[in-house]
Amino acid sequence: MSTPCRNVCKYDTTDTYCIGCYRTTNEIALWMIYSEEKRMEIMRLLPKRKKDLNSQ
């Protein structure tokens, strides 16, 4: 699975999520060593994170 990175690399006002890919700093740092299952789990979370951040 490829990365959801969009080369934006800026964080929300709480410094929790990247506003380009909606991953945490930890998720970004560990992405390449995560299992395929873990990456898929994170990918499933991204649409809700995007929606939540865009509604703030």
pLDDT at 6 over 80: yes
Comparing CA positions, the residue from 1, 34, 56 lying closest to residue 24 is 34
User: Do 46 and 23 form a contact (C-beta atoms < 8 A)?
Assistant: yes
Q: What is the mean pLDDT of residues 15-42?
A: 97
Average pLDDT over the chain, rounded to whole? 95
Phi-psi domain of 30 (left: phi exceeds 0; alpha: psi -120 through 50; beta: other): alpha
Q: Which amino acid is it at 41?
A: E
Is the entire prediction scored with pTM above 0.75? yes
Q: Which amino acid is it at 50?
A: K
Comparing CA positions, the residue from 47, 53, 41 lying closest to residue 14 is 53
